[in-house]
Amino acid sequence: MRFPLLALLAAAGPLQSPPATADDSCGEENLLAGRQPMGWLDIFRPDLVTDGIGARDGDPELGALSAVLASEQAFVAYDLGVERRLTAVLLQAAADASYTIEVSSDQRLWTGLVTAGPTGGGGMRTRVAKGLDARSRYLRLSARGGSGGHAVSEMQIFCRPPASPPLAIRPSAQLSLPQEVALAQSRRALLLLLPAGVSLFLLLSRRWSPRRDRLALLVAAFTSVMALAFTASNSAPGIAAACGGITALATWLVALATRSESPAPASPSRRTTAALLVGLAAISYTSYGQFGGYWSVHYHDVLHYMLGAKYAPELRYDGLYACLLESNSPEASFTTVTPAAVRDLRTGAMIPSRELLARGPCRARFSAARWQAFRQDASFFAGQLSPAGWVAVFADHGYNATPVWTWLWRPLFGDRPASAGWLEGLAHLDEVGYLMMVLLAVWAWGPTRAATAALLFGLGLPWIFLWTGGGVGRSLWLVTLVAGLALAARRRHFASGLALGISSAAGRP
């Protein structure tokens, strides 16, 4: 939904700024669109500030679309590349805090460009200011006041204000907290379980008839339509759920009344039913296409395994936490959150952070270029984890993948710096692995049994994507295990042994 800038300015709180005239030679593009910050301190998910996607006015402050400035010292800074004229600002942030945008030409002297004071209404609120007059290359955003964490979902800067701000609004299907995603997932899975189970019962039943096949196909198709409806809606449609229950009950009764002792043939309708059930499992496993919102990457897990594999020659198995602590040096820190105690990866005991740092400079293990790359990756992960999540990293048990897993995955990480988009792509490679598992199961045991396994996997809440997804290479051991069993079932014993050996050697706890 788009609004004229003046209407937004009237609806939101005032921005105190000096008057100026717009420069007609400027374009109307957002100068911060997709731009990554050049530095930050104590900010959680800084990439969301300039991703072009905002919340709706009034949405909760600490939702999935918001970066959070976690302290009074927090800031995020940007480099526009060259000096640009600045005449308009759009900021969507929590209503109860005050936000200041400063500009600088040399990163030493900062002057205020605009201040967004608190507004009424609560939740996230959009503020807009026009008529600014400044020239600058560097920008810095900070926050003060409010009730706690300062949430910002979008900031846009213009050389010339457009007719309407290009602020994209994500649909309301985006849920804000993992617990809400899990609760919605469990409710939907229960609504789908009965009709899907009936269809599977008809598919596996030894009593076969063409009528049963048609009923199984009908129920599977209807259940898949329900799942697609859940994908497009934030709430489970009551009518669809009621119709699903009635259809399942009627089908069950008809199935019990139908008798046949002949074996079930591999008819096209049975294969179509199996394919629909596999698709239903995939839709449910992925949180109905949402992949858990911004939890599509399990950053706590990926931090350990990306950094551990990428910097294996320097970190080895004992240096991850010491090097993370040292990388956040006082002269160029990216967070003021420092754990009081850290797990000693040599003994497994928790020890004071200062004791671990006193053992010697971790950076001595790195070349200058590799140390700079490690610091950049560490600052990225610190920005993706909440303050409590960052502290929790140091209580884990370090990087403990096998040498074979490191050998397989380290070339994939290469020298590329960590970024949200790249890691999301790597994390979703596991879904490709799960698809391969289904194809292997179909090849080895047929579509019916493969559909059974897929349905149990997709509708099982303890192993949905929200809990088990988002890692990098998490599915490797499972895919190779299923491959080994499938190859054994098809009497390909040499290949089966090789797959089972990889599964054992590349396994991850």
Q: What is the DSSP letter of 363?
A: G
In whole angstroms, what is the distance from residue 395 CA to residue 62 CA? 25
Q: How far is CA 147 from CA 135, 142, 328, in A?
A: 33, 15, 28
Instruction: For residue range 44-93, list pLDDT tens digits in order.
Output: 888 889 988 888 888 877 777 788 888 888 899 999 999 999 999 999 99
User: In this structure, are residues 139 and 101 in contact, taking their beta carbons and an 8 Å threshold?
Assistant: yes
CA dihedral 149, 150, 153, 157 (to 10 degrees): -160
Strand 168-169 vs strand 53-54: parallel, antiparallel, or unpaired?
Answer: parallel
pTM above 0.75, yes or no: no
Question: Given phi > 0 = left and psi -120 to 50 = alpha, else beta, which region is 42?
Answer: left
Cβ atoms of 50 and 78 closer than 8 Å: yes
- Look up residue 126 and give its two tokens: 């959009």
Confidence of residue 416 (pLDDT cuts 50, 70, 90): very high
**Separation of alpha carbons 459 and 227, rounded Å:** 11
pLDDT in tens, 180-232: 666 777 778 878 888 888 888 888 777 777 888 888 888 888 888 888 888 77
- Neighbour tally for 274: CB within 10 Å: 27
Distances (CA, A) of 250 to 218, 225, 243, 247: 12, 18, 11, 5
Q: Residue 108 above 60 pLDDT? A: yes
| Pairing of β 134-144 and β 43-44 | unpaired
Is the distance from CB of 61 to CB of 44 less than 8 angstroms? no
Domain span(s) for CATH 2.60.120.260 in the chain: 5-169
Whole-number average pLDDT of the chain: 81
CA dist 384 and 427 (Å) reads 15
Residue that wins the pLDDT comparison between 369 and 146: 369
Which numeric CATH code is attached to 5-169?
2.60.120.260
In this predicted structure, what is the pLDDT of residue 411? Answer: 92
Task: Identify the top-confidence range among 55-59, 99-103, 360-364, 467-471.
Answer: 99-103
- Does residue 163 have a pLDDT over 70? yes
